[in-house]
Every structure is written in C-alpha cells, then in structure tokens.
Amino acid sequence: MAKADGFSEQEFRQACAELEAPAPAGKDWECLVETEGFHIYRLLDEQTGLFEYKAFGDFKNCPPALCADVYMDLRYRKQWDSYVKALYETEICGKMVVYWEVKYPFPMSNRDYVYIRDRRDLDLNGRKVHVILAKSFITPEIPTKNGIIRVKDYRQSLVIESDGKKGCKVSMFYRDNPGGMIPSWLVNWAAKNGVPGFLKDIEKACQNYHRNR
C-alpha cells in the first residue's frame, strides 16, 4: 500500500534486502571498482544504454544514525558536496519536495533534479536499519530553467546499519537518466572516481558534522 509520500512499505523492505545479499546476484552486474572498503557494481540497461549502480561497504568510524542524519541534512550537504550548485526543500501539495542542481564540467550544461524522499528507521530481524529512499517528482511548481537539463528519471536508496562496532555498513543503489550528450569518458570517470569520492566525502562529513552544524 503506497503512502502519501509516494513510497510503499514494499519498497522499503526491498531496499533492506540488499543488506542480506550484498553481492548482486543474477543479471550481468559488473564489479567496477573496489576502494576504501567499498565494492561498486554497475549494470547496463540495454534498452536505454544507461547504467544502474550499487555500492556496498562500511564507514568504520561513523555510527549508523549519524550517517543517516548527515545524508538527510540538505543544508549541511551544501558545505561538503562541491558539486552542489543549489539545494533546498519545499512543500508542494502536501509533499516535501527537494530541488537539486548539480555542477557539470564546462562546456556541458548543469543538471537539476526535483524529487521526493523519505527516511524510515526499521527493525530488520532484531537489527535497527535506517532506510532512505528518493525518486523523481514531476510538478509545474518548479519549472525547468534555461541552460539546465532536468533529470526526469532518478531513483536512489540508501540502507545503513551498525557494523557491530563503532561504524556502519552501507548499501546504496543509484539510477538516473542525465539526458543530453555526455561523453563516455565522463560516465566512466564518474563511476570509477566520482562514486568512491562521494562516499569518502560522506564519511568525512560525518566526522565533522557536530562541529559544523
């Protein structure tokens, strides 16, 4: 049954299942890179020519609740994520909607996203798990802008739980269609360097969170 925020109970449970079987099973998932305690995989969608990504790993010195708090804090993200051009949350038709503009290297156009998100702290077989879901949301209240390409197909999930020590285990799924013409070298760079760099930035942001609030 779908909630008013646009996410169903099943979607949250499916995201949790990633922690139970972290190595992608079936299909043609490719292990793209192993770095800093993370394994990053990608899967090619032959119909669209686009990739889906999964990342599994741990942050050894970041408690799970803190990691979830940092990820949800949009104001703080503008401090630590250098690719953010604009980022804010506003209420539209009873939903909390996020607007996010991402910097792209010259001469390519920036991309922007309009999406809804939700966080739930669930009990999974006696373990506390933090689940954050996000997906595109179309609304005339936030129109497209000249010179910026609107990403209309975006979905992400983040699942976080304790590693039994001082840190947390993380499972992340990501898919979007950035539109326009993006060189293959940039796609490959983003997957092999951008994703690991983003994960490293999150871990650093967790360590500095309380002193920067």
Tally the domains of the chain.
Answer: 1
pLDDT tens sequence across 168-184: 999 999 888 888 777 77
Total residue length of the chain: 213
Q: Is residue 127 part of a domain?
A: yes
Residue 1 resides in a domain: no
Q: Rounded to two decimals, what is the model's pTM?
A: 0.88
User: What digits encode the pLDDT tens for the residues 65-107?
Assistant: 999 999 999 999 999 999 999 999 999 988 899 999 999 887 8
**Positive/negative CA dihedral, 14, 24, 112, 148:** negative
Integer Cα distance of 53 and 83 in angstroms: 19
Q: Is residue 3 part of a domain?
A: no
pLDDT of residue 124: 82
Residue 79 domain-assigned (yes or no): yes
Q: How many helices (H) and strands (E) does the chain have?
A: 6, 10
- 185-196: burial string, b at 16+ Cβ within 10 Å, e else: eeeeebbeeebb
Domain that holds residue 170: 9-22+32-212
CATH number at residue 47: 3.30.530.20
